[in-house]
Amino acid sequence: MGFYRRIKYFLVHTLKLSNKKAQELIDAGEVKINGIIITENCTITEDAEIRVNDKIARAKKEFVYMLFYKPAGFESTLNTRIEKNLSPFFKDYPDLAIAGRLDKQSEGLLLLSNDGKWIENLCNPKYDKEKEYIVTVDKNITDSFIEKFVNGVEIDGFVTKKCICEKIDQTTLRIILTEGKNRQIRKMCIVLGFNVLTLKRIRISTFFLSNLEEGNFMFTKI
């Protein structure tokens, strides 16, 4: 769960109370978090219900966690100002954010939630979350390509981390990365003299695309 800071911060900055008034309400037992009277300036989770003088100041927020199969041809954004965005797939679910972006030509697994802290943790590079892909390229894969790809390729002024790259057939690869630079797999392939024809992400950390159909989403637990 994410944190909203402290209850007094909420009272002052959201309800526009003075520091003095906020403290008076807390001292008088007029502030409840999830039905429990609080008597100190405690930390609150972003999903908590807050009542002041027995009136709801913020309703309890229900978090949702989704797996989505992004079709190729769509941007990994919910920004309605951007053409071919994903908002039409999620009309009934406001305040979502996306983890694990894919470029427009690519398809596969995205994770979405209205739990900002969860999304932030998934996206933070220091946690080294694995991302798994099935990739087809435009010519036969060589042992030299595999060796160089696994040990790191220089793109955009940096060398990629070591990764897993396995040959499935003459032109198909299974790739697992623990970093997610912009168009990383495509750029690595270009440096090594190959072009990506299709790219599908099938896993992010412990979440799998499985049998989810293109353009559909399903709810999951964390």
Catalytic residues: 103
Cα 134 from Cα 127, distance rounded (Å): 22
| DSSP-assigned letter for residue 178 | S
**Sign (positive/negative) of CA torsion 205, 211, 217, 220?**
negative
Closest of 154, 204, 206, 195 to residue 173, by C-alpha: 195
Cα 29 from Cα 52, distance rounded (Å): 9
Per-residue b or e along 170-200, where b marks 16 or more CB atoms closer than 10 Å to that residue's CB: ebebebebeebeebbbbbbbeebebebebbb
